[in-house]
Amino acid sequence: MKKTKFIVIAGSSGGHIFPAIKYLNNLSNIKKPSEILFITNEKGQNYLEKIKNDKISKLIVNSQNKFSFIIKIFLKLNSLFFFNKKITLIGFGGFITTPILIISKLFNIFLLSSNKIYIHEQNFIYGLANKINYIIAKNVFISFPKTNIRSKEIFVGNFFINKEKSKEKLQNKSINVLLMGGSAGSLELNNRMLEEVKTLDFDHLKKINFYIQIPEFNLEIYKKKYLEILDNDKCSFFTFKNNLNHKEYDLILSRSGSGSINEILYYSNNVYFMPHLISRDQHQRYNLNYFLSHNMSLKKFYIPNKKNKVSKFYFNTLINPHSIEKIICYTTR
């Protein structure tokens, strides 16, 4: 049985998977990559190319049927936990973390293993999975500061992708407007943007360049809607852009997932956030309310009629770009 010292688990959304991959990449710089296992589901499979070291083991188990996932994961991990008695596990969120961490805890109780269990919560409130995981975790790494911090909680600040990556450069004379919707719920954002665009007069529209993120399967539908109002050279569409430079935009319209909020607000507060309210716990609304209470984003959505560039002195002290490094310090000591 292959020796395993670290298990990292994340699934369900990019908000869980991106910080997990950042952790994996940083951990593999100081620990043997061959002793690290990443467990994810069909969502995480789309991001595996971002794992830099190919010696890190990957286990992908489909979780669309939750009961089937629990059975499969137990069968796959049973021998691993039996032969490896001292594993550090960290769950970054999503349903798939809970069965794995519970199995690890059962091995601790009944087979005298000494596995260490940690979890990461990137939102203002705990998701359902992490409410359960909290009971069995040694520590919980939280992203938002609290007045009354619980005994297991360690404040690390929010995950940050990479402040060193190369950045795009846009036309300085234009008013640049960015819509960041990701793949989940971006249609509502685009409808809101289209409503606003329809209210602008011709002279105002001539000054603006729009950069619209839209899923591939809805691209043609919404491209047609935008181009009924805008000239073709005034509107660019993309599904993913690796070199986004938030400082270049005079207005950003975005979801208020924890990852989006923190990466944008690290660079700019020229942003209007629209929470995705379909989720059971409405965590995006709580995330947004925290930053609104600190006056760190726009409270009204409007498209500016002149340049609104970010001051070079803008700095958001509430965000920690080294949160993952802090987690590694705790989980490897």
pLDDT in the model for residue 184: 56
Domain architecture of the chain: domains with CATH = 6-155 (3.40.50.2000), 175-293 (3.40.50.2000)
pLDDT in the model for residue 277: 66
H-helix or E-strand containing 255? strand 251-255
Q: What is the pLDDT along the chain (333 residues), one digit of tens a residue?
A: 579 999 999 988 777 898 999 999 999 999 999 999 999 999 888 889 999 999 999 999 999 899 999 999 999 999 999 999 999 999 998 899 999 999 999 999 998 889 999 999 988 889 889 999 999 999 999 998 888 999 999 999 887 666 556 678 887 788 999 998 765 557 888 899 999 999 999 999 999 999 998 877 788 888 999 999 999 899 999 887 878 888 899 999 998 877 788 788 888 889 999 887 666 677 888 888 888 888 888 889 999 998 887 776 677 777 777 889 999 999 998
DSSP string, 184-227: SSHHHHHHHHHHHHTTS-HHHHHTEEEEEE--GGGHHHHHHHHH
For 242, which DSSP code? Answer: T
pLDDT in the model for residue 163: 59
SS percent in the chain: helix, strand, coil, step 5: 40, 15, 45
The CA–CA distances, whole Å, from 240 to 49, 181, 214, 294, 318 equal 15, 10, 9, 30, 27
pLDDT in the model for residue 182: 64
Residue reference for tokens 């001539």:
206
Sheet holding 6-9, edge to edge: 57-60, 36-40, 6-9, 88-91, 116-121, 139-142, 153-155
Tell me the Cα Rg of the chain: 21
User: pTM for the whole thing?
Assistant: 0.83
pLDDT in the model for residue 185: 52
pLDDT in the model for residue 103: 96
The distance of Cα 20 from the centroid of its chain, to the nearest Å, equals 9
